[in-house]
């Protein structure tokens, strides 16, 4: 089941996100996010964009989430949003990421957005696969722009035009 996030989901979202922060280069954040900070992030993104969660129908637990936020601050970018998706490791490979993105794409279309942009730390075949499966196309590759776990990391950008 996919639904709009609630502020009280912040703790469950931290439980999914923080292992990515501490154990992977999927995110360039390096410090775990507190529940209070995550609640603020949810509030900010819901004010103008969107944030969805996937809830396991058997357990009632959140097993993934996707959200949209500001791509760039300038006025001309107001119809473009940056998106991301995270799925709990034990639920990966079940189509949750794709389902979340498909739902998020529809919400963003309904809100009048024209384009979505996603940054992917590379290499990351799973994330590239999810993005391309829902229509994103690679448009940029930046080398050695992130530094985490004592190594330089590349990032690629994928774009989805919503009004084609």
pTM of the model: 0.95
Residue 164 Cα distances to 100, 112, 135, angstroms: 21, 13, 11
Q: Torsion angle of alpha carbons 126, 157, 47, 162, nearest 10°?
A: -90
Helix intervals (H) in the chain: 10-23, 35-48, 96-110, 125-133
Residue located via tokens 């999810």: 130
Give 124-142 pLDDT, tens digit per residue.
999 999 999 999 999 999 9
Q: Show me where the domains of the chain are located.
A: 2-161
Q: What is the mean pLDDT of residues 33-42?
A: 98
Give 80-120 pLDDT, tens digit per residue.
999 999 999 999 989 999 999 999 999 999 999 999 999 99
Q: Which option is the CATH number for 2-161: 3.40.190.10, 3.40.630.30, 3.20.20.70, 3.40.50.300?
A: 3.40.630.30
Whether the predicted pLDDT of 13 surpasses 80: yes
């Amino acid at each position: 089941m996919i639904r709009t996030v609630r502020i009280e989901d912040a703790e469950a979202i931290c439980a999914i996100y923080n292992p990515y922060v501490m154990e992977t280069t999927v995110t360039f954040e390096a410090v775990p996010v507190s529940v209070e900070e995550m609640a603020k992030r949810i509030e900010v993104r819901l004010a103008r964009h969107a944030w969805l969660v996937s809830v396991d129908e058997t357990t009632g637990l959140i097993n993934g989430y996707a959200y949209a936020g500001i791509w760039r601050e300038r006025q001309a970018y107001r119809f473009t949003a940056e998106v991301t998706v995270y799925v709990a490791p034990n639920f990966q490979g079940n189509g949750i990421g794709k389902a979340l993105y498909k739902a998020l794409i529809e919400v963003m279309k309904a809100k009048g957005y024209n384009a979505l942009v996603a940054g992917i730390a590379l290499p990351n075949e799973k994330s590239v696969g999810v993005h391309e499966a829902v229509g994103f196309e690679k448009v940029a590759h930046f080398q050695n722009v992130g530094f985490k776990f004592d190594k330089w990391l590349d990032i690629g950008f994928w774009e989805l035009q919503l009004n084609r």
